């Protein structure tokens, strides 16, 4: 008999009393009082897709994001917040608190090398060796809702419902048209959408950001009036390509980017410095693109196309912010906002251009199936992405972009808004190092429960390795990670380690040297000056940490 059925059959008990009686099964502390349980926070986790570090106003952007800016001004901007280099590894670690190489996403689904196929941790979906934070929160009485991009498995036993979400509407794959069309990007036919345990079609008026917000509001309204808190996981596909937005949002940015990407990059840097996100004296990095593609060398017609790309990209972020505002408005009107922790982040750094070079989405396929005329760019039936120069403006002063463990690929905008908490930091910036692995342990501790360790309902699982930031949020600690904590990233043989201000990288050619590089981020946030010759002991210490990590996490480098 499950907990819900048992609850219904227990006469005269409140939900909170029943939870207290079930503490051994559910992992609640036996000392947790009914009063503490009544104060368990709602949790709303909002994820943007391929959003660059400086792409919202509170982090230096010219794009209109008043709702996210308000969240930041009423909360804390985390200037040292890290995801993984791409979407699926981030989402796996976010929901499990376990390294992606253990949780099933040692590499992206469909991109396993021959020597990785069949190896534990390289399944290409979130495996059964982990238990999701949604499941653990559901076990202690939380409503659990998910709306948006899933990208953690296509099968019934890999679905949001199977992993602990009571209600969900999910794009199962990695991307799709933001409007309803018959040809999408996720798989070459129709992208797969699932509501709860059923595959579903999209309505004719579908636009991704609006529809995902609609569903989250619908789910939140369904539990109004009961005592149970909620965990909401709202995961937009904006501003992931194909770049598409409603016409009125695109028109709002018409002409905004006609000065080009060099000007935008410098303007963003100045704004970040004014905000205190970047110290004075830091310079922008040179472009990774050929000089022949510099803005001043482009023809007038190409400039129009490049400007429109960025106009649509900005429109997508603006619209996403509007949808977030609708949810905040609902929480305010329903009286739930004051007890809701909201975390906003991007799943990785900004995506570079040249999607058409990917054999999955060949340029010939794009040209044959979409209308990418200037007049139709960003509309239904178009398929465009933005130039790498715009990506470099989005990542700010950081090296490279999505797909790499350099700062441009993994350092993302993070906002924590928790009414009544973090009051000394409200409206400010925290430089505390925090990673996506830390979210699940944080949510569990704030909810008054804990991870079960190495066994869950009779199956062996991996323990969480993230660090709870609950003491930081509750004001009982000013730090999250210790100065010697080491966090490691690997994807597609691109490797990064961070310990305090030390950062070690191995990025394959042509984007890197193919060998180890050592940086000190306090002095060199752009990772431009390899200092390993001056600090050989630090380099060897971090190489040893990498070697241990490979063994502990079953890492299999692709051959």
User: What amino acid positions are annotated as catalytic residues?
Assistant: 87, 151
CA 237 to chain centre: 10
Q: Are strands 502-506 and 516-520 parallel, antiparallel or unpaired?
A: antiparallel
Which residue reads 């609640």 in tokens?
28
Question: Which H or E run includes 159?
Answer: none
For helices 439-446 and 87-96, what crossing angle results, to 10°? 30
Q: Are 89 and 441 in contact (CB under 8 A)?
A: no
- Rounded CA separation 396/427 (Å): 21
Count of CB atoms within 10 A of residue 333's CB? 9
- Rounded CA separation 69/82 (Å): 20
DSSP 358-427: SGGG-HHHHHHH----GGGTTSTT------HHHHHHHSTT-SS-TTSSSHHHHEEEEEEE-TTSSTTTTT
Contacts of 293 (CB under 8 A, 6+ apart): 287, 387, 389
Q: Are 523 and 279 in contact (CB under 8 A)?
A: no
Nearest to 244 by CA among 312, 189, 298: 312
- Rounded CA separation 102/280 (Å): 41
Backbone angles phi, psi at 415, to 5 degrees: -130, 130
Contacts of 214 (CB under 8 A, 6+ apart): none
Contacts of 385 (CB under 8 A, 6+ apart): 241, 242, 243, 309, 351, 353, 354, 355, 356
Q: Are 476 and 463 in contact (CB under 8 A)?
A: no
What is the side-by-side order of every strand in the sheet holding 516-520? 486-491, 494-499, 502-506, 516-520
Burial label, 42 (beta-carbon count in 10 A; 0-12, 13-18, 19+): buried
- Rounded CA separation 236/380 (Å): 18
Give the pair of three-digit tokens for residue 189.
């036919």
Ranges of beta strands (E only) in 181-264 are 193-195, 198-200, 230-235
Ranges of beta strands (E only) in 11-107 are 42-48, 76-82
């Amino acid at each position: 008999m499950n907990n819900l059925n048992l609850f219904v059959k227990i006469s005269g008990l409140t939900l909170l009393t029943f939870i207290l009686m079930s503490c051994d099964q559910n992992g609640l502390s036996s000392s947790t009082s009914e009063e503490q349980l009544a104060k368990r926070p709602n949790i709303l986790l909002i994820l943007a897709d391929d959003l660059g570090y400086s792409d919202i106003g509170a982090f230096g952007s010219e794009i209109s994001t008043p709702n996210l800016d308000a969240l930041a001004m009423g909360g804390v901007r985390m200037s040292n917040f890290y995801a993984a280099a791409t979407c699926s590894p981030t989402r796996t670690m976010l929901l499990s608190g376990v390294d992606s190489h253990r949780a099933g996403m040692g590499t992206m689904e469909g991109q396993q090398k021959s020597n990785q196929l069949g190896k534990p941790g390289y399944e290409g979906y979130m495996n059964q060796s982990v238990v999701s934070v949604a499941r653990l929160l559901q076990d202690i009485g939380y409503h659990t809702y998910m709306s948006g991009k899933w990208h953690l498995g296509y099968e019934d036993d890999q679905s949001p419902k199977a992993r602990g979400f009571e209600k969900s509407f999910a794009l199962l794959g990695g991307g799709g048209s933001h409007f309803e069309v018959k040809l999408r990007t996720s798989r070459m036919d129709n992208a797969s959408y699932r509501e709860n345990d059923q595959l579903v079609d999209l309505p004719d008026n579908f636009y991704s950001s609006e529809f995902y917000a609609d569903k989250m509001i619908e789910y939140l309204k369904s539990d109004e009036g009961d005592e149970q808190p909620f965990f909401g996981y709202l995961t937009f596909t904006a501003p992931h390509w194909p770049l598409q937005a409603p016409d009125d949002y695109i028109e709002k940015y018409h002409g905004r980017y006609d000065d080009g990407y060099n000007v935008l990059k410098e303007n963003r840097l100045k704004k970040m410095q004014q905000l205190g996100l970047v110290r004075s004296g830091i310079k922008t990095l040179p472009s990774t693109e050929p000089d022949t593609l510099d803005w001043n060398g482009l023809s007038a017609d190409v400039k129009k196309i490049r400007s429109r790309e960025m106009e649509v990209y900005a429109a997508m972020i603006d619209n996403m912010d509007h949808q977030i505002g609708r949810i905040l408005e609902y929480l305010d009107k329903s009286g739930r906002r004051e007890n809701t922790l909201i975390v906003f982040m991007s799943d990785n750094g900004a995506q570079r251009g040249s999607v058409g070079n990917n054999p999955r989405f060949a340029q010939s396929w794009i040209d044959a199936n979409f209308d990418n005329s200037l007049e139709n760019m960003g509309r239904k039936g178009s398929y465009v992405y933005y130039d790498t120069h715009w990506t470099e403006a989005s990542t700010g002063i950081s090296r490279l972009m999505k797909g790499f463990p350099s700062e441009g690929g993994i350092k993302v905008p993070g906002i924590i808004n928790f009414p009544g908490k973090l009051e000394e930091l409200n409206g400010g910036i925290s430089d505390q190092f925090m990673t996506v692995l830390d979210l699940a342990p944080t949510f569990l501790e704030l909810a008054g429960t804990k991870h079960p360790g190495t066994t869950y309902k009779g199956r062996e699982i991996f323990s969480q390795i993230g660090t709870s930031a609950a003491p930081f949020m509750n004001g009982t600690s000013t730090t999250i990670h210790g100065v010697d904590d080491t966090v490691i990233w690997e994807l597609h043989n691109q490797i990064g380690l961070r310990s305090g201000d030390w950062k070690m990288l191995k990025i394959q050619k042509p984007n890197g040297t193919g060998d180890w590089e050592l940086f000190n981020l306090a002095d060199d946030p752009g990772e431009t000056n390899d200092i390993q010759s001056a600090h050989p002991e630090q380099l060897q210490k971090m190489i040893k940490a990498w070697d241990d990590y490979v063994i502990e996490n079953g890492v299999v480098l692709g051959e």
